[in-house]
Amino acid sequence: MMSTIKVLLWLFCGATARGLNRNIQSANLRSPQPVAVKQEQQSFHEPLTWRFPDPPAEEESQYPPDFELKTPTAVNSISATCGAESVWVEVKKDLMGIGKPVLTADVSLGGCPATGEDPNTQVLVFESELHGCGSQLLMSEDSFIYVFTLIYTPSPLGDTPIVRTRDVSVNIQCHYQRKHAVSTGMMKPTWNPFSDTKSAEENLYFSLKLMTDDWQYPRPSNQFLLGDMMKFKVSVKQFHHVPLRVFVDSCVATVVPNIDTVPRYLFMGNKGCLFDGQLTSSNSKFLPQTYSDELQFEVEAFKFQQDHSGVIYITCSLKATAATAAVDATNKACSFSNRWSEASGINQACSCCDADCGTGGQSQLSRGDPVLEQETAVGPIVVKDKPLR
Q: What is the pLDDT of residue 236?
A: 85
Q: Average the pLDDT over 339-353 and give the result.
A: 90
CATH topology of domain 204-389: Immunoglobulin-like (2.60.40)
Q: Which residue has the higher pLDDT, 230 or 21?
A: 230
DSSP state of 72: P
Largest CA distance in the chain: 173
Cα–Cα separations (whole angstroms), residue 296 to 125, 288, 289: 38, 8, 7
Question: Are 302 and 285 in contact, with CB atoms under 8 Å apart?
Answer: no
Query: What percent of the chain has a predicted confidence (pLDDT) above 70?
Result: 66
Q: Which helix (H) or strand (E) holds 135?
A: none
Q: Is the pTM higher than 0.75? A: no
CATH code of 75-178, in short, is: 2.60.40.3210
- Residue 309: pLDDT band by 50, 70, 90 thresholds? confident
Q: Is the pLDDT of residue 155 over 70?
A: yes
Could you report the per-residue pLDDT of 289-301, keeping only the tens digit for each? 888 888 999 988 8
Plot region of 53 (φ>0 → left; ψ -120 to 50 → alpha; else → beta): beta
Could you report the per-residue pLDDT of 108-130, keeping only the tens digit for each? 999 899 999 888 889 999 999 98
Q: Average the pLDDT over 199-208 and give the result.
A: 63
Same fold, 75-178 and 204-389: yes
Domain boundaries, the chain: 75-178, 204-389
